[in-house]
Structure 1
Amino acid sequence: MRRFPLPFKQALIPLALASAFAAHAQTNPQIPPTATLGETMVTATRVAQPLADVLADVTLIDSQEIQRSGAVSMVDLLARQPGIELSRTGGPGSTSSLFLRGGENRFTAVYIDGVRVDSQSTGGAPWESIALGQVDRIEIVRGAAAAVYGSDAVSGVIQIFTRKGEGAFSPYVGVGIGNRGRKSVEAGLSGKSGAVDYSLGLARDTSHGFDSRPGTNPDIDGYRNTNASARVGWQINDAHRVTASGTYSNMDAQYDGFTPNLDDHGLNRLRTGGLSWSAQWTKNYSTRLSVSESRQIYETKPSVYRSETTLRDFLFQNEWRSGGHLLTAGLERRGDHMVNSPINQGRHQNAVALGYGYTGGAHTVQVNLRRDDDSEFGGQNTGGVSYGYAFAPGWRATAAASTSFRVPTLYQRFSQYGQPGLQPEKGRNIELGVHWAQGGSRLGATVYRNRVRNLITFGAAGPCGDPFGCYENTGRAEYMGVTISGAHKLGVVNLSGSLDLQDPKDLNTDKALARRAKRLLKLAADTRIGEWTLGAEAVASSMRFENAANTTKLGGYGLVNLYATTTIAREWTLLARINNVADKNYNLARGYATAGREFYVGLKWMPK
């Protein structure tokens, strides 16, 4: 016990309480068996499976929660979820980093409708480029998943799904206004005609914004975002289906650079496209073949900078099911290319991935193995094993161990600050969990430790020859903590919340990693009064350090958000929302302001 840091010791408390409650549940006939969870998810193992069979620590965000959120950006919505925190240099459209379980932004693999999204310049998903307007569902998997997804999935995976056409023809139109000149408009249609289903959506969001760096360049930094999505599916027959999808986002965000009185603009454009063919060859055997491409372009004006990342993927997935057994085998080719003058570089990875899952009685098992052959770094092997045991009605204990890796970005290797000899970052993750579900109530606690070696950091000048500094494989990091989350209906009030106790630190210096809090609390409640649904959210974060030396602090903060929705006519829905009710002044990055109090009112027409 003396060897374990504080988060692990604190984690034993909820785990012990869970075990005690479980023992009571085994002998108390008033506690009925767990209700069947009808939802399915695909992100944990890359195949569709019932939520009750998923062993990973997961979160599902549906379309209703997205609508109620009133969030401007994707990261605003995700930052309210367990295990996630946000760093951003200004308002929506400015550079944003998402820390999943305290891991670096580049350690989370991100997909939009199955299309991989990443930046070979900054590393990780360009969150400021991913529009929220067309999103229907989000799946979050916490924990290393490189044995399924390859490079990038060191801390977890976030998969984003756009709308899919179902039922009769259904159009929708929405408008919204808010303070600081915020205006939004959206329109779209979806439906199904015979064997063809379709969905099309368009949205535009603008705002005058606020001064992102007070005292540096006293101007207002606004943004304009235009986005669209389209999906078409053709059910050829009972056994074969073809789906094509695409998304587009164009963000123009003002920011304060290093030159006073300059009207700086950051232009972010992201395009994704995918084509897949699913086939059910026999009752037990099915396949999926997909090709996809994403392209992200970031440039600044009037200062001259431009970086373009193109990713191409080919995946052939095989599934064989028999009773409680599931065997998977996948062949994948990934290609990365970056143009960032004078850099014009590319690389590829060929991979084979195998998986086995079993669900029977009280036992659930998942095993995955993968080998990636990188054109620059050679063979990279990863594996993962998970086990779940339903030890009481409604209760399950889980244990998992996995390895992961992330190859350096092309910018980290070939820019003026780079070194071609950089090696992949490699991680080892272990976790234990206890989970309970009963009807609409749930409770879970997951303890984890993820250690990463060869961590790429930006160090002193020398190895690359640039006097400003160089990328180096000098770091060792440990991401350790516990995530506790739950939901319960108390009378007419729905309650939910999460608590993260974590200790992301640099093992070389034993100092906390920059911009990551050790304690995060998130609470939510809603109820229905007459025709209105009223809700409140609260977020509290402890102090963080701005720098790696832990000499500059970012103060802790607490925020409260309120919202209300109602159906004002049979086909019209009204949303009113206030974020940061107390107008709290806080910082996610030193020297950069946050929005303060925000008001938003939206009206949407959607015929039933």
Structure 2
Amino acid sequence: MKIRKLRVPLAALPLAVLAALPSHAQTLSETLVTATRVEQPLTDVVADVTVIDRSILDRSGASALADVLARVPGISFVRNGGPASTTSLYVRGAETRFTAVFVDGVRVDSQSTGGATWQALPVSQIDRVEVVRGPAAAVYGSDALGGVIQIFTRKGEPGFAPSVEFGLGTHGTRKLSASLSSAAGSVDYALGVTRETSDGFNAQPTGNPDKDGYRSTSASARLGLQINPAHRIEATLLDSEQDAQYDAFTPGRDDHALQDVQTLGLSWSAQWSDSYKTRLSVGRSSDRYETTPSVYATDTTVSSYLWHNEWKFGSNQFTAALERREDRLNNASTTPAITQRSQNGLALGYGFRSGAHTLQLNARHDDDSEFGGQSTGGAAYAFAFMPQWRALVSAGTAFRAPTLFQRFSIYGTPNLEPETARNVEAGVKFDNAQGGTFSAIAYRNKVSNLITYVSGPGSCVNGVGAFPGCYGNTASAQYAGLTLAGTARMGAVALGASLDLQNPEDLTTKKQLARRPKKIATLTADAPVGGWKLGAELQLVGERFNNATNTQRLAGYGLLNLTASTLLAKDWTLLGRVDNLGDKTYETARGFANGGRMVYVGLKWAPI
């Protein structure tokens, strides 16, 4: 099927100023913890945020988290084939490494590729996702130039709740998932395990003419002990292993990418008085990537330690946190093979909410073992100029230290400088008790010392390798745009839409940054019909360029996805999803195919 360019006429998207896909699940009573590391009602949060709850994840039927996040305002992704293939996620057009990612408070990062390994984060083990768009380094330190995404695994609830799901899908996809959770007395727990396999499809039609399937196994565990009303201890675990076939440089060879991502966390929360509470936590994440039969392996370990303090006095809230992060990379391509560094951070925060006024101030200083001191700050203010309407404005700075691979690999440059960002944004938000929401956020984020790979003889003067090319602080970029989002109800029908108009630009070359569209729109509708819960979503993605020189154009595309679920009998639910109903041929990366029309049908047992 021929790929045709997609034009997105704004007049054809009247809902685009109303809603974002997941927003219909957000209510005024919901709370958010990611924006400031303090639990806040959504109505008090000044940042541009989206919450994705378990009902949205279940209804999505998606195998990959990137497919769910791509329907969130301000987010797009690129994938080299199927759900288990290499995935890059862009928040407001910013590189993958510019989004700080946490699983149950444990930082996830790769010191090889930079950023989280999105293809290895399993939807089946996730209970909730919080997305914060915009820099948050004054709260979280390095990495949060474009935003923060926090993933929460399932938590034990009162009662005893087992569940089992079996599903079949296109391309020989098979899924078996089981979970168990409970909360009784002072102990709560949740356990989950999922096994998914797929025969896959030919991800590179012009290359190896074979199917690129995958096998994945994931598990999660969360155990909580409420020692007394003021003290709680909690331990978390997430482990995800994948074996994904891919096409390398040798035709006819069966290449495999082996990925293992794991997080471990332990925390103690204490409410010492009505006005003072603390949280002490330690975490460790590991990200191992290996290929076979070609020999390559890289292993990142991130250890983190946090002591967070919070004081409340009337309308005032103060926070102070001490944090330490330790990165370690084991990679035969680096010199030495094992490299490491650490960062110590002090973060201070102040929040004020009274009447029509909301103020949030944050400042942080990080001392990097390699780069010395890095100071960042953020200020945000919201004014309720009418009932249910708020105007907001914010500014913030951020930084990302170069990865250990960028500095010490055969392509590395040891004297790289941290990438830095300055962001300003302004907008309006509307919320009412009937489920109607609207937001319009304009932003501009400038990044300096942008690290890119420079190829060509003589370009790697300061590098440690023998290759004709290396990483360097050679560019600057600007991520500017406008996001319109919200929700509305018409009787029993929940409607949603979002529209992103963005201009991710290389300020050095004045070219559009590779693989990032200027226009993204999503339209959604969900409704109960005759005992069924039906949903439809239309995704529209504008044209992009596959390369930095803007000579390889990728056409825009539109996808229509449908979902349905119904209660077959007591405790038994039938789930169904059709992705890409029109069987459109499209590319997010040149030369890599997508799966065409894909169908998934699942049967879930969960006692009510």
Matches within 5 A, 1:320-335: 320-335=311-326
**Paired residue for 1:151?**
142
Q: Which runs of 5+ in 2 are unaligned?
A: 1-9, 19-25
Following the alignment from structure 1 to structure 2, what is the Cα–Cα distance between the partners of residues 110 and 477? 22
1:573 equivalent in alignment to 2:573: yes
Matches within 5 A, 1:193-592: 193-341=184-332, 342=334, 343-439=337-433, 440-460=435-455, 461-463=459-461, 464=463, 466-592=466-592
Identity of paired residues, percent? 56
Deviation at 1:535, TM superposition (A): 0.9
3-state DSSP class of the match of 2:228? coil
Following the alignment from structure 1 to structure 2, what is the Cα–Cα distance between the partners of residues 70 and 354? 40
Deviation at 1:266, TM superposition (A): 0.3
Deviation at 1:491, TM superposition (A): 2.4
3-state DSSP class of the match of 1:268? strand
Deviations 1:463-519 (A, max 9, x none): 225334110001100000011001000122110111000000000111000000000
Deviation at 1:347, TM superposition (A): 0.2
State whether residues 453 and 475 of structure 1, in contact with CA within 8 Å, keep that contact through their aligned partners in structure 2. yes
**Paired residue for 2:153?**
162
Q: Which amino acid letter does the alignment assign opposite residue 528 of structure 1?
A: P
3-state DSSP class of the match of 1:138? strand
Deviation at 1:90, TM superposition (A): 1.1
Following the alignment from structure 1 to structure 2, what is the Cα–Cα distance between the partners of residues 130 and 172? 21
State whether residues 88 and 95 of structure 1, in contact with CA within 8 Å, keep that contact through their aligned partners in structure 2. yes
Distance 1:285 1:190, change over 3 A: same
**Paired residue for 2:175?**
184
Higher relative contact order (CA 8 A, sep 6+): 2
Following the alignment from structure 2 to structure 1, what is the Cα–Cα distance between the partners of residues 300 and 365? 24
Following the alignment from structure 1 to structure 2, what is the Cα–Cα distance between the partners of residues 547 and 192? 52
Deviation at 1:205, TM superposition (A): 1.0
Q: Which amino acid letter does the alignment assign opposite residue 453 of structure 1?
A: S
Deviation at 1:596, TM superposition (A): 0.7
Following the alignment from structure 1 to structure 2, what is the Cα–Cα distance between the partners of residues 588 and 170? 40
Deviation at 1:36, TM superposition (A): 7.7
Deviation at 1:603, TM superposition (A): 1.0
3-state DSSP class of the match of 1:593? coil
State whether residues 495 and 526 of structure 2, in contact with CA within 8 Å, keep that contact through their aligned partners in structure 1. yes
Following the alignment from structure 2 to structure 1, what is the Cα–Cα distance between the partners of residues 83 and 491? 38
Distance 1:596 1:234, change over 3 A: same
- TM-score, normalised on structure 2? 0.94
1:90 equivalent in alignment to 2:84: no
Following the alignment from structure 2 to structure 1, what is the Cα–Cα distance between the partners of residues 316 and 182? 35
Following the alignment from structure 2 to structure 1, what is the Cα–Cα distance between the partners of residues 252 and 538? 37
Following the alignment from structure 1 to structure 2, what is the Cα–Cα distance between the partners of residues 443 and 49? 19
Deviation at 1:323, TM superposition (A): 1.8
Deviations 1:170-216 (A, max 9, x none): 11111111111011011111011210000000001111110011121
Following the alignment from structure 1 to structure 2, what is the Cα–Cα distance between the partners of residues 358 and 456? 37
Matches within 5 A, 1:98-117: 98-117=89-108
Deviations 1:538-571 (A, max 9, x none): 0011110000000110110000001111111221
**Paired residue for 1:127?**
118
State whether residues 533 and 566 of structure 2, in contact with CA within 8 Å, keep that contact through their aligned partners in structure 1. yes
3-state DSSP class of the match of 1:68? helix
Following the alignment from structure 2 to structure 1, what is the Cα–Cα distance between the partners of residues 508 and 578? 43
State whether residues 206 and 222 of structure 1, in contact with CA within 8 Å, keep that contact through their aligned partners in structure 2. yes
3-state DSSP class of the match of 2:68? helix
3-state DSSP class of the match of 1:550? coil
3-state DSSP class of the match of 1:224? strand
State whether residues 411 and 467 of structure 2, in contact with CA within 8 Å, keep that contact through their aligned partners in structure 1. no
3-state DSSP class of the match of 2:280? strand
Q: Which amino acid letter does the alignment assign opposite residue 481 of structure 1?
A: G
Deviation at 1:282, TM superposition (A): 0.6
State whether residues 36 and 52 of structure 1, in contact with CA within 8 Å, keep that contact through their aligned partners in structure 2. no
Q: Which amino acid letter does the alignment assign opposite residue 216 of structure 2?
A: N
Q: Which amino acid letter does the alignment assign opposite residue 580 of structure 1?
A: N
1:37 equivalent in alignment to 2:28: yes
Identify which of 49, 56, 60 aligns with 2:51: 60
Deviation at 1:51, TM superposition (A): 0.8
Following the alignment from structure 1 to structure 2, what is the Cα–Cα distance between the partners of residues 110 and 462? 31
Following the alignment from structure 2 to structure 1, what is the Cα–Cα distance between the partners of residues 497 and 338? 46
State whether residues 321 and 327 of structure 1, in contact with CA within 8 Å, keep that contact through their aligned partners in structure 2. yes
State whether residues 206 and 591 of structure 2, in contact with CA within 8 Å, keep that contact through their aligned partners in structure 1. no
3-state DSSP class of the match of 1:128? helix
Following the alignment from structure 2 to structure 1, what is the Cα–Cα distance between the partners of residues 430 and 184? 41
Following the alignment from structure 1 to structure 2, what is the Cα–Cα distance between the partners of residues 124 and 286? 31
State whether residues 64 and 122 of structure 2, in contact with CA within 8 Å, keep that contact through their aligned partners in structure 1. yes
Deviation at 1:275, TM superposition (A): 0.3
Following the alignment from structure 2 to structure 1, what is the Cα–Cα distance between the partners of residues 565 and 179? 21
**Paired residue for 1:23?**
none
State whether residues 398 and 421 of structure 2, in contact with CA within 8 Å, keep that contact through their aligned partners in structure 1. yes
Following the alignment from structure 2 to structure 1, what is the Cα–Cα distance between the partners of residues 523 and 394? 27
State whether residues 170 and 599 of structure 2, in contact with CA within 8 Å, keep that contact through their aligned partners in structure 1. yes
Q: Which amino acid letter does the alignment assign opposite residue 428 of structure 1?
A: R
3-state DSSP class of the match of 1:136? strand
Deviations 1:64-123 (A, max 9, x none): 000000111011111111100011111111111000000000000000011100000000
Following the alignment from structure 1 to structure 2, what is the Cα–Cα distance between the partners of residues 238 and 214? 60
Following the alignment from structure 1 to structure 2, what is the Cα–Cα distance between the partners of residues 492 and 288? 42
Comparing 431-440 with 136-145, greater Cα deviation is found at 431-440
Q: Which amino acid letter does the alignment assign opposite residue 472 of structure 2?
A: E
**Paired residue for 2:3?**
none
Q: Which runs of 5+ in 1 are unaligned?
A: 1-9, 19-34
Please provide the CA RMSD for this pair: 1.3
3-state DSSP class of the match of 1:169? strand
State whether residues 454 and 474 of structure 1, in contact with CA within 8 Å, keep that contact through their aligned partners in structure 2. yes
**Paired residue for 1:5?**
none
Following the alignment from structure 1 to structure 2, what is the Cα–Cα distance between the partners of residues 513 and 256? 26
3-state DSSP class of the match of 1:448? strand
Following the alignment from structure 2 to structure 1, what is the Cα–Cα distance between the partners of residues 583 and 252? 28
